[in-house]
């Protein structure tokens, strides 16, 4: 395989999408964390939330 092409039509905003109900508390926790990350990115920019592995060494060292 050399390439993959995708096409999306008729997309809507996430606020209009349906939400699958779940009895799993971990699912609810993950959704709250994702929403908090989205709010932080909206307020501080796209690089405000990222994996900890991307932090520079010594960036948060406390002396």
> Which residue intervals of the chain are DSSP H helices?
25-44
Q: Which of 7-11, 27-31, 59-63 has the highest mean pLDDT?
A: 7-11
What's the rounded Cα separation, in Å, for the pair 35 and 38? 5
Q: What is the pTM of this model?
A: 0.50
For residue 60, is pLDDT > 70?
no
Tell me phi and psi for residue 57, to 5 degrees.
-65, 135
For residues 61 and 26, which has the higher predicted lDDT (pLDDT)? 26
**Of 17, 16, 33, 14, the residue nearest 25 (C-alpha):** 33
- The per-residue pLDDT for range 15-51, each reduced to its tens digit, is 787 777 777 777 788 888 989 999 999 999 988 888 8
What's the rounded Cα separation, in Å, for the pair 37 and 44? 10
What's the rounded Cα separation, in Å, for the pair 43 and 45? 6
Residue spans of the domains in the chain: they are 23-49
For residue 61, is pLDDT > 60?
no
């Amino acid at each position: 395989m050399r390439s993959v092409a995708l096409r999306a039509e008729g997309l809507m905003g996430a606020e209009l999408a349906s939400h699958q109900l779940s009895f799993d508390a971990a699912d609810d926790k993950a959704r709250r964390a994702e929403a908090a990350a989205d709010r932080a990115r909206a307020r501080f920019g796209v690089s405000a939330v990222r994996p900890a592995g991307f932090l520079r060494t010594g960036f948060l060292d406390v002396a």
